[in-house]
Amino acid sequence: MTVNAPDTTLGARAARAAAKPEAEPPTAPGGKLRSTPAVRQADGMAVASFVFGLVGLLALNLLLGPASIVLASLALRRGTTRPGRARLGLALGVADLVVLAWLVSADQTWSWSIG
């Protein structure tokens, strides 16, 4: 009685790996690369970070500043195709917190208003 053991030699594994065709990146009908859902989600985070940072300069900077920083960091970590927008959102989030600190030190209170 013979037992067929799997061939575990290095040459056999290399031959099996060479026989498998590599997966091609998904393309749209126009020949453009389609983005995966994770990349689209990271792109959305980059845009949201930018918008939150921009709006946070005028209002709700205590909430929108940290949210912008977190979203920008996540977008950059997940490999967004818009790294410039994510970095700008990160910078605007930090600017939100700097503006908040300046306004709080000027008014000596956490509540402030324009005018």
The amino acid at residue 106 is A
Place of tokens 């575990």: 8
d(CA 77, CA 74): 5
Q: What is the mean pLDDT of residues 99-109?
A: 83
Instruction: Please say if the pLDDT value at position 53 is more than 60.
Output: yes
Q: Is the pTM of this model over 0.85?
A: no
Place of tokens 């949210």: 67
Q: pLDDT tens digits, residue range 61-91?
A: 889 999 999 999 999 998 888 899 999 999 9
10 Å CB burial of residue 66 (0-12, 13-18, 19+) is: middle
| CB atoms inside a 10 Å sphere around CB 51 | 16
- How do the domains of the chain map onto residue ranges? 35-115
